[in-house]
Amino acid sequence: MLLWRSGELMPLDRIVEEQQARGALYGTAIHDNRRELRLEIIRRRQPELVALGSSVALDMRQEYFNAGFACACQATDSIDDAETFVDAMLAVVRPKLVLFFVDYWWFASKRPQIREPLKLDPEAEITRRKLFAPTNWLREKRLSPAEYFALLGGERDLHRATLHPKIGMMAIKRGLGIRADGSELSGLRLDSGAPAYYAEARELIRAADRFARNGGEWDGAGTRIAADSRVQPERLQALDRVLGKLRGAGVQVTLFLAPVAPPLAAAMNRDRRHRYLDELDHALAMRGDAYYNFHDSRRAGSTDLCEFSDTVHSGNVMFMRMLRAILVREPRSPLARYVNRARIEDAIARFAGRTIAPLETGLYVAPEVDFLEAGCRRKPADSVGQ
């Protein structure tokens, strides 16, 4: 009953319908339907622009653009994975421009990294483990009895840091979920418990020099690239296949390397073992219709750690900084016709030093907390006018 009440059993097509109609935030606690959700969002929105990538692209949002947009973020965990998703995407839409965020470690592995095929049945897959999840939440005290009975009574918001309609237990309990455009809102960062949740991220950032040295293979620790890592031809060939599919469908492609936290970028710059990044930079520059390397956030005009959520994920403001830097550098960039320049300039000025820019009017109740304990001074929640 609780799973049904919270929306966890709702078919994917109906979830996306609710998102597009009401701006609902969807965060499931029992399904791994990240790719399938983004594919359905793209099918419904039929966007001109698509951001494609892993979780590093999660903060690219519709509000930055004048044209229809969707974020196929978390749709690809590797360059090999991207082939599967691009085939499925091109079957439902052919966007004009794809902003393809590649993770720098994708190209260090000799082995293909491919997840299971996409599951195109909109009905949620139900297992015994999923059905007993609420009982486990109660036993492990992740859900209180009072919250359990409130949910049974129809409550859909236990977090209350934002006023978005919510579907799924992660959205309802923690304010964490996927927006209508496919990007993510992490309401955890608006919660007083955020410092505890981000404790590991703080430790990795504070130990940036050690983290940069602790390179390893694809499935290892640290930066996932080692002193002797080299860009593997097999992974570049996989990238070439993905680019070939997109260009063959008439889609322009802009390649990105997303920024890492400034202390990590500085540590990797100091540790000259990371020549792999120079090799990758050269390989990518030869391939995209356009290519932008923001691995070091100074290229976006900022080294503010307060605009990052962990070692490899930046927030809304940093993404807007990247777009602005491109337009300053190349006023005739293919992005120029799509970016809402006035809006991002206003938002950068007003929300500098945050990961969450409250661009949706009237939906943010709580201010972002200093979850990295980096001395971030954040004003109460506010919104940019529409």
With cut-offs at 50, 70 and 90, classify the pLDDT of residue 181: very high
d(CA 109, CA 215): 13
Positive or negative, the CA dihedral 242, 245, 248, 254 is negative
Q: How confident is the model at residue 385 (pLDDT cuts 50, 70, 90)?
A: very low
Domains of the chain: 1-29+125-193 (no CATH), 34-118+198-386 (3.40.50.1110)
State what percent of residues in the chain have pLDDT above 90.
Answer: 76
What residue type is assigned to position 307 of the chain?
A: E
Task: Indicate the pairing of strand 166-167 with strand 290-293.
Answer: unpaired
Q: What is the mean pLDDT of residues 192-206?
A: 92
Give 317-334 pLDDT, tens digit per residue: 999 999 999 999 999 999
The distance in angstroms from the start CA to the end CA of the chain is 39
* Cα–Cα distance for residue pair 276/226, rounded to 1 Å: 9
Quick one: pLDDT band at residue 123, thresholds 50, 70, 90? confident
Whole-number pLDDT of residue 115 = 67
221 pLDDT higher than 50: no
Q: What is the share, in percent, of the chain residues with pLDDT greater than 70? A: 93
Using alpha carbons, select from 253, 261, 273, 246 the residue that is nearest to residue 334.
Answer: 253
Give CA–CA dist 327/191, Å, rounded: 35
Where is pLDDT greater, at 117 or 346? 346
Mean of pLDDT values over 252-277:
88
Which pLDDT band holds residue 273 (cuts at 50, 70, 90)?
Answer: low
Q: How far apart are CA 146 and CA 151, in angstroms?
A: 9
- Average pLDDT for residues 17-34, to the nearest whole number? 95
Q: Give yes or no for residue 383 having a pLDDT over 70.
A: no
Asked if the model's pLDDT at residue 65 lies above 60, the reply is yes
For residue 384, pLDDT over 60 is answered with no
Lowest average pLDDT, out of 57-61, 90-94, 228-232, 378-382, goes to: 378-382
Contacts of residues 36-39 at CB distance under 8 Å and 24 or more positions apart, as own/partner, are 36/12, 36/118, 36/119, 36/120, 37/12, 37/178, 37/182, 38/70, 38/71, 38/72, 38/73, 38/74, 38/75, 38/85, 38/182, 39/72, 39/75, 39/85, 39/88, 39/89, 39/92, 39/118, 39/120
236 vs 280: CA distance, rounded Å: 9
Q: Tokens at residue 227, please?
A: 């002193």
How does strand 97-101 pair with strand 252-257? parallel
pLDDT of residue 217: 41
pLDDT given at position 216: 44
Q: Given a cut of 60, is residue 215 above it in pLDDT?
A: no
The confidence score (pLDDT) of residue 118 equals 78
Q: Residue-wise over 205-225: b if at least 16 C-beta within 10 A, else e? A: beebeebbbebeeeeeebbbb
| pLDDT band, residue 12 (cuts 50/70/90) | very high
Distance CA 354, CA 12 (A): 32
Indicate whether 378 pLDDT > 90: no
Cβ-based neighbour number of residue 194 at 10 Å: 20
Cα–Cα distance for residue pair 127/287, rounded to 1 Å: 43
Tens digit of pLDDT for each residue in 67-93? 999 999 999 989 998 999 999 999 999
Q: Three-state SS across 221-260?
A: CCCCCCCCCCCCHHHHHHHHHHHHHHHHCCCEEEEEECCC
For 363, phi and psi rounded to 5 degrees? -105, -10
| pLDDT score, position 180 | 98
- Beta carbons within 10 angstroms of residue 322's beta carbon: 25
Q: What's the angle, vertex CA 6, arms to CA 194 and CA 50, rounded to 5? A: 70
User: Where residue 379 falls among pLDDT bands split at 50, 70, 90?
Assistant: low
